[in-house]
Amino acid sequence: MKVAILTIGCKLNQYESEYIVESFSKAGYGIVDFKEEADIYIINTCTVTSQADSKSRQAIRQAKRRNPKSIVVAVGCYAELKKDELKNIGADIVVGNVEKVFLVDIVKDYLIKGDLEDTRNISREVFYPMPVEDFKDYARAFVKVQDGCDSECSYCIVWKARGKPRSAEIDFVVEEVKRLVDRGFEEIVLTGVNLGSYGKDLGVSLVDLLKRLVKIDSLKKIRLSSIEPTEWSDELIDFVIHEKIAKHFHIPLQSGSDRILEIMNRKYKRKFFENIVLKLKEKIPIVGIGVDVIVGFPTETERDFLETYETIDQLPIYYMHIFTYSDRPGTLASILNPKVPPSVKRERYEALRKLRNEKMDRFISSFLGKKIYGVVEGRTIDGNRYTRALSENYIPILVEGDYSFLRCKVKIFQATGKNGLNLVGKLDQV
């Protein structure tokens, strides 16, 4: 039988989809593109925004139209929270996040019995390892080390979908990273719903894990996915100076207004966030810091927005992901009034987008003429004139020449020019 999968949403979802693809492939299923006709369609859903919900519903309908006799499986965060809704629009199997580990067996049982087994007996408080053997189309390998969140931000529904924080055992992570390094990956990305909370359920910390990982021979760089401001301890700030930690950190800000941060239940103030960013910049001059920002949160005034704008403008921030607020049913924020008019949201989004582009341009330009570590992504462009790479501080690099044979390898590059929001450079040594 042929299986097709579509992933909507975050990098963690992408990782889990890789696990699902490998699981079905090992079980003897053929894997095809989602746009092709398949016997089984799997949609790994997301519910972080109303747009993600819409994409998930659209994918389910498309799958049923493509092959009315197919089995359509909806998994993930949207499926966790809205089972009946997704069944009503055509999904045959609707299960949440922990079921991803057991999805092959769930589908097999459905094929035999024609009905879905009750999965409520699967614990939501256990970390289920999802090792991916190979990332064939990736230059970097990902390792899921954490799941769940208990932050309860007022605008977010994901913490309800993902459950309580839980972590992978350190020994498991170390062995998983060693295996991926043995397969040729020199940069590993650690990922989770709330990575900074890693180990709290085990009596250890993210720093404890990193201390073990940096000892692995042939592992050149460890990249950390998003870490909440409240998880940046002095110990973590001091440790990420280590040469094996990629100098790129994503720290969600959401708002620069203390009033809005309190309504969001973000548990920190603007000054706290600023201190973290300034400490990192002082200790690591080349650091590339990214942030998340929400515009148009309910009750957000012009003054609130200006405080956000000024915070980002004044801090050494490289880039930002800008989200226009949309109500998520079931969240505290969804019942707040007054709402910000759509036209005002668009104006604020555009102001931040312009600031983002200016800051990115300045940051990237500051590395002209300098040497910098990066991982070779292997894709060539412009008739093999350039090979794509990614610097350790998250700058895209166009490397002169065809170095696709060095995919997954961490090298030093000499930045010689700039092309838009890319550095242009030469390989320092093969």
d(CA 417, CA 368): 6
Comparing CA positions, the residue from 247, 191, 275, 250 lying closest to residue 373 is 247
Task: Answer yes or no: do 336 and 400 share one domain.
Answer: no
User: Domain range spanning residue 333?
Assistant: 141-365
Last residue of a domain, one of 113, 129, 157: 113
Task: Answer yes or no: do 18 and 98 share one domain.
Answer: yes
Mean pLDDT by 10 residues, the chain (430 residues): 96 94 97 97 94 95 97 96 94 94 95 74 82 89 96 95 96 97 97 97 98 98 98 98 98 98 98 98 98 98 98 98 94 97 98 98 98 96 96 98 97 97 92
pLDDT of residue 114: 81
Alpha helices in 230-328 (DSSP H): 234-239, 258-263, 270-283, 302-314
Q: In this structure, is residue 135 part of a structural domain? A: no
Q: In this structure, is residue 305 part of a structural domain? A: yes
Comparing CA positions, the residue from 48, 1, 278 lying closest to residue 160 is 48
Total domain count, the chain = 3
Q: In this structure, is residue 132 part of a structural domain? A: no
According to DSSP, the β-strands at 386-391 and 396-400 are: antiparallel
d(CA 254, CA 156): 12
d(CA 221, CA 29): 35
d(CA 254, CA 226): 13
d(CA 131, CA 100): 12
Task: Answer yes or no: do 354 and 384 share one domain.
Answer: no
What value does the CA radius of gyration of the chain take, rounded to a whole number of Å?
Answer: 22
Q: In this structure, is residue 64 part of a structural domain? A: yes
Q: In this structure, is residue 128 part of a structural domain? A: no
Task: Answer yes or no: do 207 and 339 share one domain.
Answer: yes
Last residue of a domain, one of 365, 397, 415: 365
CATH of the domain at 95: 3.40.50.12160
Task: Answer yes or no: do 208 and 312 share one domain.
Answer: yes
d(CA 151, CA 174): 27
CATH of the domain at 412: 2.40.50
Q: In this structure, is residue 35 part of a structural domain? A: yes
Task: Answer yes or no: do 347 and 392 share one domain.
Answer: no
Last residue of a domain, one of 95, 113, 131: 113
Task: Answer yes or no: do 353 and 393 share one domain.
Answer: no
Residue 360 identity (one-letter amino acid): M
Look at the alpha carbons of 164, 169, 170, 176 in this order and tell me if their dihedral is positive or negative.
negative
Task: Answer yes or no: do 226 and 155 share one domain.
Answer: yes
Instruction: Kindly give, in sequence order, each residue whose CB lies less than 8 Å from that of residue 350, ignoring residues fewer than 6 positions away.
Output: none
Q: In this structure, is residue 131 part of a structural domain? A: no
pLDDT of residue 139: 96
pLDDT of residue 158: 92
Q: In this structure, is residue 20 part of a structural domain? A: yes
What is the DSSP secondary-structure string of 57-91?
HHHHHHHHHH-TTSEEEEEEHHHHH-HHHHHHTT-
